[in-house]
Amino acid sequence: MPLELHPVAVLRTPFAEKFGVPRQSGLAPSAEGRVEFLPAFAAPDFTRGLEAFSHVWLVTGFHKNPPWDGAATVRPPRLGGNARVGVFASRSPLRPNGLGLSLVTLLAVEPGVLRVAGIDCVDGTPVYDVKPYLPYCEARPEARADWAQAAPRLRAPELILMPAALAAALPPEVATLARELLALDLQPAYQAADADRIYGMTVAGWNLRWRLAGETVEVIAVEPVSAEDQPA
C-alpha cells in the first residue's frame, strides 16, 4: 500500500538556494541548522533520551526539486558529471521519491528544536523523521564503495583567496563557513573552470561571488542580502 508521509519538522539552514549546498552531510562542519518540530511533535516526550546520542539521521524531502522525470540513470559529480549510473546506485536528489538522508552532529536538544551541524539541506526542507545514529551497526569500516570510497578532495586553504577587507565584512562564523564551502567543488562537475565565469551563492544571509583560476578560488564580493531578496 502507498505510504502517506507528513513532515514532523522544518529544517532551518544557512542555505537559501540549492547552489552552494554541500553534496553530502558533514562536508562543511560549520553549516549549522535547526530542526524545528511542528506543534504536534514539539512536546519534550518526542525527543526524550535523544541527548544521549552524538549524531542523528534526518529523513528529509527535496522540496526544491522538480517532479521526477522517470529517468533511470543520473550523472554523479564524483564521476565527473558525464558517466551515468542507475538512480538507485547514487545519492542523487533526482529520484522516484524525493527523499534525502542526512547524518548530522547533534549539538543540543532544546524545547521543540534540535540544533545540528554538518547540514546539507536548503532552508525550509521538510523533515519526515529523526533517528539516532548507532555506531555499533552503522559504522562499517570494511564497507566498499568503489568510486565513492574516499571523501571528496578539498582545496588547500591557500587556494582560497579572500581579501582581508572582504573577510572582515563577514561575521566570523560566516567567513569560516564560506571557506569550508569554497574548499569544495560547488560548480557542476561537467563544467570546466572558466576564469571569466562569476559564481555566486547566498549563505547565512550573505551573497558571495567568486571566480576560478585553475584550482584557485578568488572571492571578489560579499554583501548582505535582505530577507525579501533571498530566494523563496
Asked which of 70, 105, 138 is the last residue of a domain, the reply is 138
The pTM of this model reads: 0.89
Cβ 130 vs Cβ 33: under 8 Å: no
For residues 32 and 134, state if they share a domain: yes
Residue 77 covered by a domain: yes
CATH of the domain at 163: 3.30.2310
* Distances 211 to 41, 173, 175, 192 between C-alpha atoms, Å: 44, 22, 17, 12
Judge whether 151 lies within some domain: no
Nearest Cα neighbor of 219 from 232, 205, 204, 206 is 206
Instruction: Indicate if 28 and 74 belong to the same structural domain.
Output: yes
CATH assignment at residue 18: 2.40.30.70
Q: How far apart are CA 219 and CA 15, in angstroms?
A: 18
**Tell me, what's the pLDDT at 149?**
81
What are residue 9's DSSP bridge partners? 37, 127
Gyration radius of the chain over CA positions: 19
- Spell out the per-residue pLDDT of the chain, length 232, in tens: 788 899 999 999 999 999 999 999 999 999 999 999 999 999 999 999 999 999 999 999 999 988 899 999 998 888 877 889 999 999 899 999 999 999 999 999 999 999 999 999 999 999 999 999 999 999 988 998 887 888 888 999 999 999 999 999 999 999 999 999 999 988 776 666 666 889 999 999 999 999 998 889 999 999 998 755 554 4
Are 121 and 32 found together in one domain? yes
> Checking DSSP bridges between strand 160-161 and strand 85-86, what pairing results, if any?
unpaired
Q: Report residue 127 CA to chain centroid gap.
A: 14
Same domain, yes or no: 119 and 188? no
Inside any domain, residue 194: yes
- Please indicate, yes or no, whether residues 86 and 195 belong to a single structural domain of this protein: no
Residues 6+ apart with CB under 8 A from 39: none
pLDDT value of position 78: 81
Domain containing 86 equals: 9-138
Residues 26 and 88 both lie in one domain: yes
Q: Strand 216-224's sheet: what is its strand order?
A: 160-161, 216-224, 206-213, 199-203
The count of domains in the chain is 2
